[in-house]
Structure 1
């Protein structure tokens, strides 16, 4: 038996009906983000490895697709690290930071930028998780105040609402809160990254699992116990409307400004997006090492995972330009929302032009061109003995009308009226 022909592992093909649905969703997202004043930009799929392996990408840096240098001698023995100089981007934030550093003179401040495109991670494929996937990012660079976080969250919530995705909840935390919490529990600053990687798994392995993994990593029992007690206490605090209660529950090592900032964001979102529940979650970490302040994730009821996430990364641009700029971004994981979309295509201007084999090609394409100029989408469909399966497929692809072309006895081409097209009968 011939082998099954499938895409590369972790990749997928997109059929016409799904592609149309996805493109409609992307148009809605673009329209909403542009209505909030974001300008769309584009960055290359490839970046220099030194930029992608800066230590800021967390676990994603271990999942890089690397590209071999050109002109390598096939007989020369090279270590893998010496053979590659470029990599496929694993997110859109690192390339955007480089983009801002490169094009700073051409951008106004603050810059409000939109970027949509594929990213690649060499991870283990599973349901809803691919090695190539689309992200939709908005970023504000040059604004240090909480208005950046509020605008990013409100714009993204509006886009998801416009797509019909109701029931979203925003979880929010702050990297400075997490850093102060770990310091207050006695963990050394050099160990914070390792501890946070484990804490980030709390929603999957639970608090007991987090503590077991930290002990397995060799952390002293008194430190782990202190963290367990603090997290157990803080996980019961979810309301940001009284930041004083949160401040009282946190160790003194947590900067008061970070707690106040969370309260400011929560209060502002209660005005700009009052229908969006905002929940403080001390276990929210987000794996990227470049986050410096507030971090947030948006979850959709029933999805089982976050569908958007982001945060503040004030030091990232400076790694490329030598001059730090405040920056904050929010990213929609498009593949995670695609399966939840129930967008009906507009079928009113989509027509299958069915023709007998003897109708001249020039006449058919002339009519197709005329209708296209009138705003129709027209598919030429050759008449066959069994038309219904083909027409059913066109319905799946979003076509809503059928127009029949025939060659009359005198040799003239006649076109009927557009009739409704529906599955099971035209």
Structure 2
């Protein structure tokens, strides 16, 4: 968990403002949910490994005997927990407020979440997620809207050239079934396949053998993974998708993915669809039921966000299935890539005053500039004026003026900093 100095905080807020504005421009509405959720909801088996990283809150009024009795049962000791993502709270929110929401609900959630991560570089225990979700639409339009809004937001942040890796969990299930992996071993097999980028084909096959997965299935998968392939470029579409899969891939799933691509291309006005089909994209969350995606940018090797369809989650709270799909931008990763230039449209002025200037005069000068649209800071003159102004510039101020006792507001000479 981190503190942020004023310049860092201002930079983060500028990026958040752009993200929020672009999301709203695409018809999404912002909501807010509590930072705490019920323990049972956070540990319902739908959050994958994140459930193990949840911060739990002890029940009130526990005495020493109760703590000892529940030492081996966290559910007996905790009834609440800090949210580890924004999707589980959204599902609960929708189930609780459905009567006040449109049939197809497009939500924005921009808020901190907490995970008990190991303290290593690039991992934080408190971080901001920027989510957009569409609930109530099972058609490819929902995924396409999310993809277009996300790519548009990336462009607005000055990170044009982004693309989205896309797959479908149903494709993965079908592939594993066609290779001969049993239903019980699929979760473990997917964990290994998810390491393909790190281990390479040979490493993945070796690990599957170490897992003692069905031998014939491992060999069938190995033959597919190591098959001879041409390096020709194929644009996103049915041919590319089928070429990347075993024979006889289900038409329904292929058509769904092709429909997403066609809609994204139409919205972006691009002949080259910014989608890349990846049959081995897994995504770790256990609640995904269909389309899954990750946001990529040529400037970095890691993903900048991701998401997918989770049609089964809301039904756990509502008692009936409701289609839902979401996309989350990795704010902490993106904010480091965005230019830190301050917004120069609104002047930011430092008024450097002598010790003897009356407070009433200072506040009158400040009020005049603020009324004119400027951001204003009062600073008493120091011996090292240069250091004072350099610090103001690092805090985002763009101009300064010196104030003497009795000076009229119109007499102030505002000079640029830097």
| TM-score bracket, shorter-length normalisation | over 0.9
Residue 85 of structure 2 is aligned to residue 95 of structure 1: no
1:371–1:74 CA distance, 2 compared to 1 (3 A)? farther
Specify the SS of the correspondent of 1:375.
coil
Distance 2:228 2:106 in 1: 34
Distance 2:324 2:228 in 1: 28
Alignment of 1:307-386 (within 5 A): 307-347=304-344, 348-386=346-384
Alignment of 1:226-241 (within 5 A): 226-233=220-227, 239=234, 241=236
Number of the residue aligned with 2:412: 416
Distance 1:139 1:279 in 2: 21
Render the CA deviation track for 1:85-125: whole Å, top value 9, x for unaligned.
Answer: 11111111111111101110010010010010011111223
Residue 256 of structure 2 is aligned to residue 266 of structure 1: no
Distance 1:412 1:370 in 2: 11
Residue 15 of structure 2 is aligned to residue 25 of structure 1: yes
Q: 1:19 Cα shift?
A: 1.1
RMSD between aligned alpha carbons?
A: 2.1
Distance 1:242 1:110 in 2: 27
Number of the residue aligned with 2:192: 198
Q: 1:204 Cα shift?
A: 1.9
When normalised by structure 1's length, the TM-score is 0.91
Number of the residue aligned with 1:296: 293
Render the CA deviation track for 1:237-287: whole Å, top value 9, x for unaligned.
Answer: 984644156447645785321111111112222222226621111110100
1:174 equivalent among 168, 185, 194: 168
Specify the SS of the correspondent of 1:372.
helix
Do the aligned partners of 1:240 and 1:262 also contact (CA within 8 Å) in 2?
A: no
When normalised by structure 2's length, the TM-score is 0.93
Specify the SS of the correspondent of 1:305.
coil
1:280 equivalent among 277, 280, 284: 277
Q: 1:212 Cα shift?
A: 2.1
2:55 equivalent among 53, 60, 65: 65
Do the aligned partners of 1:407 and 1:413 also contact (CA within 8 Å) in 2?
A: no
Distance 1:129 1:231 in 2: 32
Q: 1:190 Cα shift?
A: 2.1
Q: 1:235 Cα shift?
A: 8.6
Do the aligned partners of 2:236 and 2:276 also contact (CA within 8 Å) in 1?
A: no
Do the aligned partners of 1:231 and 1:282 also contact (CA within 8 Å) in 2?
A: no
2:33 equivalent among 36, 43, 57: 43
Specify the SS of the correspondent of 1:407.
coil
Distance 1:37 1:270 in 2: 19
Residue 235 of structure 2 is aligned to residue 213 of structure 1: no
Do the aligned partners of 1:176 and 1:255 also contact (CA within 8 Å) in 2?
A: no
1:277–1:312 CA distance, 2 compared to 1 (3 A)? same
| Unpaired segments ≥5 residues, structure 2 | none
Q: 1:392 Cα shift?
A: 0.8
Specify the SS of the correspondent of 1:26.
helix
Number of the residue aligned with 2:153: 159
Specify the SS of the correspondent of 2:404.
strand
Residue 113 of structure 2 is aligned to residue 119 of structure 1: yes
* Stretch of structure 1 that moved more, 189-198 or 92-101: 189-198
1:180–1:173 CA distance, 2 compared to 1 (3 A)? same
| Unpaired segments ≥5 residues, structure 1 | 1-10
Distance 1:276 1:362 in 2: 61
Number of the residue aligned with 1:407: 405
1:192–1:380 CA distance, 2 compared to 1 (3 A)? same
Do the aligned partners of 1:403 and 1:416 also contact (CA within 8 Å) in 2?
A: yes
Specify the SS of the correspondent of 1:180.
helix
